[in-house]
Chain A
Amino acid sequence: MNDYLALFLQAAFSENIMLVFFLGICTAIATSKSMEAALGAGVAIFVVQSVTVPLNSLLNTYLFRPGALEWAGLPEIDLSGLGLIASIGVIAATVQLLEMVVDKHFPRLYNAFGVFLPLITVNCAILGGSLFSIQRNYDLVESTVFGIGSGAGWALAVILLAGIRDKLRYADVPKGLEGTGITFIVMGLMAMSFMGLSGIYAS
């Protein structure tokens, strides 16, 4: 149990998928202009990440890993070349399904997502999360914890960033550094503080 807690904290803070692995930055910069958009994108990424990471890791274990088809009696067939395209397919399909379910049963949440849910198909944080869990050979429980943790970490980071950018409007930023430039400097400082949280789970 402790291991899973450690994995969660690691994925959410000290190895934050946005600030340490640089994933989903384009989305973060675009959505952190307003708190509302940041909330929508954060929740959308969190939900999709928690679903697709375990799903992709499951598919990899039973279909695409070299020798994974042993359960079907075909241990010599290696489908690993197809893994990437399959991961993208899974993500696209999940996003589409999720969109329909949320639209039908949680219309208020659907409005909060806005345009971000469909855009998530081409978000590198989602694909990156799946690829990391495959590369690190997480099992089903581990990849679920990793998916939830990294999604929560991304959401936390983008919401914090939107809050900081909100305050920045009153700051006197040099011309030319305004907008994207200063956002990067802020993200750098945030990355330093998130890295400072590494080691809190040492027990």
Chain B
Amino acid sequence: MERTVRQYLLEPLLARNPITVQALGICSALAVTVGLRPSLLMAVAVIAVCGFANAAISLIRTRIPTSIRLIVQIVVIATFVVVVDELLKAYAPETSKRLSVYVFLIVTNCIVLARVESVAMNKPVWPSFVDGIGSGLGYGLVLAIVGSIRELLGAGSLLDEPVFVTAANGGWYEPVGLFRLAPSAFFIIGLLIWAGHRFAKPEDAPGTGQR
């Protein structure tokens, strides 16, 4: 079945969400979500890398020898990651410090490699680009949700702006320290996967569909 460009963009948001439905790219999704701001920045970085790496690979897809295609793909992805990292260092130095090594780890993010391998290697440039952006958006959506929950409950703020006045500042809200620590991210993602299964297309559920 041929998918339209619109489907390429919108399907990864819910029906084929890379994190909740296909269980890809989870590592970085958990690590950067202590606050909403690093989550959004990370999402933008992944969207950019995913879109442009897809487009670039799609441009040269007929010229890549099959035997070394993984190496070519990884080098192309790594190049875009280095570019994104330099841009982040220049325009958002504070947040880029909070993201630390996780920007570099986009290289090994399975979402990017999965899109490149399954779409960019056999589709023209425009659908590949849109597919990369769509997958990035689906990833970003989950990141934004997890980031909001953790920052709101863990620090009583959103985007570093106070929403609930915390007890330390004379307010009523006692921040739940657990939400700033690692375990909470696991719990929230676990529950989101549960919720995400409602929207999943059956053939894409983990264990039954393609990876």
Give the B-binding residues of A (Cβ under 8 A).
19-26, 29, 81, 84-85, 88, 92, 121-124, 127-128, 131-132, 135, 174, 176-177, 179-185, 187-189, 191-192, 195
Contact B100 A135 (CB under 8 A): yes
The answer to whether B74 and A180 touch across the interface, beta carbons within 8 angstroms, is no
Report how far A124 CA is from B105 CA in the complex, Å. Answer: 6
Q: Which residues in window 133-189 of B have CB below 8 A to A?
A: 181-187, 189
Are B182 and A185 interface neighbours, CB within 8 A? no
Q: Which residues of B sit under 8 angstroms from A195, Cβ to Cβ? A: 181-183
Minimum CB–CB distance from B68 to chain A (whole Å) comes to 11
Interface residue? B72 (CB, 8 A): no
Instruction: Specify which of A123, A174, A185 is in contact with B186 (CB 8 Å cutoff).
Output: A185
The residues of A that contact B69 with a CB separation of less than 8 Å are: none
Residue among B29, B101, B181, B187 with most chain A CB within 10 A: B101
Q: Which residues of B from 95 to 128 have beta carbons under 8 Å from A?
A: 100-101, 104-105, 107-110, 113
Q: Which residues of A contact B107 (CB under 8 A)?
A: 84, 88, 127
Partner of B79, one of A29, A85, A177, A187: A85
Is A22 within 8 A of B74, CB to CB? no
Task: Judge whether B75 is part of the interface by a CB distance below 8 angstroms.
Answer: yes
Contact of A85 among B31, B82, B110, B190 (CB under 8 A): B82
Interface secondary structure of A, over-half rule: helix
Which residue of B104, B109, B191, B206 has the most chain A CB atoms within 10 A of its CB atom?
Answer: B104
8 contacts across the A-B interface (CB closer than 8 A): A21-B182, A22-B28, A25-B27, A81-B86, A88-B74, A124-B105, A185-B190, A191-B181
A128 touches B105 (CB 8 A): yes
State in angstroms the CA–CA spacing of A151 and B25 once bound together: 20
List the one stretch of B7-15, B45-53, B192-200 in contact with chain A: B192-200
Question: Once bound together, how far apart are the Cα atoms of A127 and B28, in whole Å?
Answer: 13
Number of inter-chain CB pairs below 8 Å: 113
- B81 near A188 (CB under 8 angstroms)? no
- Contact pick for B26, options A19, A26, A84, A174, CB 8 Å: A26
Q: Which residue of B lies closest to A122 (CB)?
A: B108
Q: Which residues does chain A contribute within 8 Å of B74, judged by CB atoms? A: 88, 92, 122
Tell me whether B30 is interfacial, beta carbon within 8 Å. Answer: yes
Known A-B contacts A29-B23, A84-B82; the reply to A184 vs B190 at CB < 8 A is yes
Residues from chain B with Cβ under 8 Å of A21 in the complex = 31, 182
Which residue of chain A is the closest to B195 with respect to CB atoms? Answer: A176
Set of chain A residues within 8 Å of B36, measured between Cβ atoms: none
Known interface pairs A84-B81, A176-B194, A184-B193; A23-B27 also in contact (CB < 8 Å): yes
